Amino acid sequence: MKTSGKTSGGTGVSRRAFMAVTMAAAAGCTTVRRGQAPVAAASVSLPALPYAQDALAPVISAQTISFHYGKHHQGYVTTLNKLLPGTPFAGMSLEEIVCRTADKAEYATLFNNAAQVWNHTFYWQSLMPVGKERMVSSKLTAAINKAFGSMTECNAALADAAMKQFGSGWAWLVAEKGALKVVRTPNAETPLTQAGVTPLLTIDVWEHAYYLDWQNKRADYVKAVLDRLMNWTFASENYEKI
Ligand code: FE2
């Protein structure tokens, strides 16, 4: 991993398909609720992966991606588009749907599917192919050192959160009022809905994310992801937008 005064690199042209999501991450629900949400769409679509399905092997195999992206992520998109017609959220952007259904018991199923679409799109961008150069900005490096002491300690905090998340969920690096911290969320919950919080990176710790490759060894999956796949360029870009 290299430190740079600016972010660079990235994962290719298809990254543009994810820009609405990353912009929303920078904005969070606070901005969405002020009526500055990304442009709405007639339906929610599944963004293209920002790399080939075998690009994360051997840490995450093409077979895992084919199920995780092609079945689970697609499944959330399909279910969401079936649930939306006739609700107040039809035609809204994905980010608005997530933010406006959060903590509303009557819309729990809709929220779960919308948030899982958003979380997975963010997860795919949080990873990048093995061997690709990872650039972490000087601004993010300084924030990591201030919050955790070092990148090693930051990774240890992410690994700890990923292991302590009981059952299905997510480990996140986030910024809150500019300061970094690691949080974990259960099931479909997402820091996107928390006021003033900007997601920077995430690791999916649902069993469907790793069981085909790592079986019950979540710790090994998490370590391999942190050591070889984390997209610090993406995190740097998210942090620069705050
Ligand atoms: Fe997942």
Domains in the chain, CATH or no CATH each: 12-48+60-126 (1.10.287.990), 135-240 (3.55.40.20)
* More confidently predicted of 119 and 8: 119
* More confidently predicted of 187 and 40: 187
Give the per-residue pLDDT at 14.
Answer: 36
**Residue 41, SS3?**
coil
List 137's β-bridge partners, or say none. 4
Question: How many Cβ atoms are within 10 Å of 124's Cβ, its own excluded?
Answer: 25
> Picking from 97-101, 168-172, 175-179, 203-207, which range would have the lowest pLDDT averaged per residue?
175-179
Cα(46) to ligand 1 centroid in Å equals 14
Please give the model's pTM, rounded to 2 decimal places.
Answer: 0.88
How far, in whole angstroms, is CA 10 from its chain's centroid? 15
Tell me if 176 sits within 8 A of 28, measured CB to CB.
Answer: no
Cα(117) to ligand 1 centroid in Å equals 9
Answer whether residue 48 shows pLDDT above 60: yes
Answer whether residue 106 shows pLDDT above 80: yes
Cα(43) to ligand 1 centroid in Å equals 21
DSSP conformation class of 89:
T
Cα(72) to ligand 1 centroid in Å equals 7
Query: Mean pLDDT of all residues in the chain?
Result: 88
Residues, the chain: 242
Average pLDDT over residues 169-175: 98
Cα(73) to ligand 1 centroid in Å equals 7
Answer whether residue 176 shows pLDDT above 50: yes
**Helices of type H across the chain:** 19-33, 62-67, 74-83, 94-101, 108-126, 138-148, 151-164, 211-214, 218-228, 232-240
Answer whether residue 20 shows pLDDT above 70: no
Cα(118) to ligand 1 centroid in Å equals 11
Average pLDDT over residues 88-110: 96
Answer whether residue 10 shows pLDDT above 50: no
Q: How confident is the model at residue 17 (pLDDT cuts 50, 70, 90)?
A: very low
Nearest-Å Rg of the Cα atoms of the chain is: 17
pLDDT digits (tens, 9 = 90+) for 143-170: 999 999 999 999 999 999 999 999 999 9
Answer whether residue 38 shows pLDDT above 80: no
